[in-house]
Chains A and B, each alone.
Chain A
Amino acid sequence: SQQGEEDPQALSIQEGENATMNCSYKTSINNLQWYRQNSGRGLVHLILIRSNEREKHSGRLRVTLDTSKKSSSLLITASRAADTASYFCATDSPRGAQKLVFGQGTRLTINP
């Protein structure tokens, strides 16, 4: 089964720095999505990149997708303390019930 696997598992940086998180997966996808989870809360959709796209921007977020390497990255620029959260990539299968398969997540801590 396909799985998104993020690295690093944990990342701690200073406010204002950029944070980069990576995700790898195993099988073909329709799209790859990134979600954010504040501690003990639900997942919030951040950005979706389709399999035929290579890069996408949304505010301070930049996502890349390399389908040949089956990998994606999420870049958060000019990080803020409020960006502290866990970030998950999720892959969307081209078949089946449109379920999302999540990776282990990256726990990001922004130090003021």
Chain B
Amino acid sequence: EPEVTQTPSHQVTQMGQEVILRCVPISNHLYFYWYRQILGQKVEFLVSFYNNEISEKSEIFDDQFSVERPDGSNFTLKIRSTKLEDSAMYFCAKRGQGQNTEAFFGQGTRLTVV
């Protein structure tokens, strides 16, 4: 059973529409993250979430983006008014607390904005 499950695996949306990407991080880790990878490029940090609030966010994570952990298990990334350049793989990840811990990544959601 994967440590982190993401749904959907692939989403196609019209430009200007809102999308919600979902992540279910199994077990009791403390830090949750969203990363983005545009095709063929590096994995970019978007946001970290700790104790049910955003602890850090990157310049990419502007007002278009929001995160929630509404029920203590699901962890969502909402992208409002999607743009063509939002097309990318979006990865959810989790880590335990402590200075030297590995991250567990989901398989990603491929978002295609048309």
Chain B residue contacts of A71, Cβ below 8 A: none
Chain A residue contacts of B110, Cβ below 8 A: 40
| Partner among A40, A41, A45, A50 whose Cβ is within 8 Å of the Cβ of B103 | A45
Which of B4, B55, B93, B103 has the largest number of chain A CB atoms within 10 A? B103
For chain A, the count of residues having a C-beta within 8 Å of the partner chain is 26
Q: In chain B, residues 4-48, which have Cβ atoms closer than 8 Å to a Cβ of chain A?
A: 4, 31, 33, 35, 41-45, 48
Q: In chain A, residues 27-80, which have Cβ atoms closer than 8 Å to a Cβ of chain B?
A: 30-31, 33, 35, 40-45, 48, 50
The answer to whether B42 touches A104 (Cβ under 8 A) is: yes
Chain B residue contacts of A42, Cβ below 8 A: 4, 91, 105-108
Residue positions of B touching A, CB distance < 8 A:
4, 31, 33, 35, 41-45, 48, 50, 55-56, 89, 91, 93, 95, 99-108, 110
Closest 7 pairs (CB-CB, A-B): A97-B48, A97-B56, A97-B55, A102-B43, A45-B102, A42-B105, A42-B107
